[in-house]
Amino acid sequence: MPTITAGEFLLTTDDYRRMADAGILGPEDRVELIDGRVVPMSPIGASHLFCVNALTRLFAEHTGSDIEVSVQNPVQLGPHQEPEPDVALLHAAAEPRVPGAGDALLVVEVADATYPYDRQTKLPLYAGSGIPQVWIFNLPERRLEAYARPAEDAYTERTVYAPEDRLALPPTDHVVSLADVLP
């Protein structure tokens, strides 16, 4: 939990959504709620866009109607956490609502300049919320870090894939070449 200084308070996800409803946060604002604070997100570059689009296409082609492919949309992890992962595979919702950690099968972050932030800030949040799998695409190093088996605020399993590696798309057994996803 973050340190609170005098005069500072943490926003809840309800506060955050009310700010959007009131027009304080608009659709052009690229922000997410982390540790009760509104945090700006980096602009999306061409490599990031390519990777997200390739993943979205592959997931959409190889998952059934019981799985939603959610792109750059919020996932509520707790009362003060609502990150917007680049891609998330979710159990399909029966009604309109912001999905929670229990809905997530896989969360994907595509990182160019944001790699340290995704690894040091967001990854522990996902683990602490029980997200079963997280992928971080490290674009500058052209690799995928796959995390599984959350325990408290860390993952007990980490696998690193290089561009020449092949991997199965969860929750399917469809195998893809990582080179097809990396720019």
Domain boundaries, the chain: 43-180
From the list 151, 152, 146, the residue with the least C-alpha distance to 165 is 146
Sign of CA dihedral 2, 13, 56, 114: negative
31-89: pLDDT as tens digits? 999 999 999 999 899 999 999 999 999 999 999 899 999 999 999 999 999 999 999 99
Does domain 43-180 match CATH 3.90.1570.10? Answer: yes
- Residue 33: predicted pLDDT: 95
Query: C-alpha distances in angstroms, 118 versus 21, 27, 92, 123, 138?
Result: 27, 22, 25, 6, 10
Give the residue, 4 or 7, on which the prediction is more confident.
7
pLDDT of residue 28: 87
CA 125 to chain centre: 10
What pLDDT is stored for residue 6 in this prediction? 53
Task: Output 1 or 179, whichever has higher pLDDT.
Answer: 179
Query: How far are the Cα atoms of 44, 48, 84, 106 from residue 163, in angstroms, in the given order?
Result: 21, 16, 26, 20
**Phi, psi angle pair for 57, to nearest 5°:** -60, -45
pLDDT attached to residue 132: 97
For residue 53, CA distances in Å to 22, 26, 87, 127, 131 come to 31, 24, 9, 25, 22
pLDDT-derived band of residue 7, with 50, 70 and 90 as boundaries?
A: low
**Nearest residue to 169 via CA among 48, 50, 61:** 61
- Whether pLDDT at 3 is above 70: no
What is the DSSP track for 9-75? -PPPHHHHHHHHHTTSS-TT--EEEETTEEEE-PPP-HHHHHHHHHHHHHHHHH--TTEEEEES---
Please determine, for residue 5, whether its predicted confidence score (pLDDT) is greater than 50: yes
2: pLDDT strictly greater than 90 = no
- Mean model confidence pLDDT for the chain: 93
The pLDDT of residue 1 is: 42
